[in-house]
Amino acid sequence: MSHKIERVRQALRTYDNALVACSGGVDSGLLLRLAAEVLGNRVTAVTAVTPFAVPEDLMRAAGWGETLPIRYLTVQTAQMDDPAFRANGPDRCYHCKSTLFRTLTGLARSQALAVILDGTNADDAKTHRPGLRATEEFGIRSPLREAGLTKTEIRKAAREYGVPHWDQPSESCLCTRIPYGRPISPADLRQIALAEDFLRNDLGLRVVRVRHHGDTARIETEPEVLGRLAEQPTAQTIHRYLRSLGFRFVTVDLAGYRSGVFDL
């Protein structure tokens, strides 16, 4: 793995300066740590603030970005103004990333930053990732993927390099909780965010997704804790709170959490 980390360093040394897209996940966290080591204050980290970002991710991104000796910024991006994004087709991620990278490209030009980097890893190409097309179209560089670093290797390296959220479960934007074809709306996103915040912070679930099926909330979590959700009074507490958010029915998926469930 060390030779792959050195490949990332070598790539970073070729740039006079860089803008790093910082999502709050472990991938961009490691990339930002290495960029700060190689380029120092010539790095600008940027986090996009959107209504579909997981709030905990935004807080992690800000906390990590402000810890390092770099410049840290946030930007508002306008995916919700794009009808193709709101339509929520299987290519939603492409439209989302296109808007993000268009915004970051404008920022990089205004700040005379040589390159935009993101935390895409070598495993991402093996899954349904329409956003990778936008990465290529906008000339975004992905040093971790280019060095062949897998998610497992990134977690190990992040721990060694002191990235505080190295063991944080992988996250995805709140739009992934909504089945393709159901339009993305601020109301649905708010329901999902509040439901997941409750399940994480009040009930202590580490991995959780609340899939939005109109009047029905379908909870996915780790298989080993599924039984606890069906026990009283926990089940009644969950049902009562999610009903207060506007869901009519509340269910628990017996298969547990699966990444990219709507792509299967």
Task: Please check whether residues 145 and 209 belong to one and the same domain.
Answer: no
Residue matched to tokens 């709306």: 185
Beta bridge mates, 45: 20, 72
| Whether the model pTM is above 0.95 | no
- Asked whether residue 119 is domain-assigned, the answer is yes
- Asked whether residue 130 is domain-assigned, the answer is yes
- What does pLDDT average to over the chain? 94
Residue 93: CATH number of its domain:
3.40.50.620
Quote the number of domains for the chain: 2
Model confidence at 219, in pLDDT bands (50, 70, 90)? very high
Range of the domain at 56: 2-160
The two three-digit tokens of residue 146, written as one number? 């280019």
Helices (H), 111-253: 131-137, 143-146, 151-160, 186-197, 226-230, 234-244
Task: Give the C-alpha separation, 39 to 13, whole Å.
Answer: 7
**Helix crossing, 26-39 with 151-160: angle to 10°?**
50
Task: Please check whether residues 145 and 245 belong to one and the same domain.
Answer: no
Task: Give the C-alpha separation, 50 to 162, whole Å.
Answer: 28
Last residue of a domain, one of 160, 185, 220: 160
Residue 194 neighbours by CB distance under 10 Å: 17
Model confidence at 258, in pLDDT bands (50, 70, 90)? confident
pLDDT, position 264: 56
**Helix crossing, 55-67 with 26-39: angle to 10°?**
20
The two three-digit tokens of residue 182, written as one number? 């159901």
pLDDT, position 176: 95
In this predicted model, what pLDDT tens digit does every residue of 27-79 receive, in sequence order? 999 999 999 999 999 999 999 999 999 888 989 989 988 889 999 999 999 99
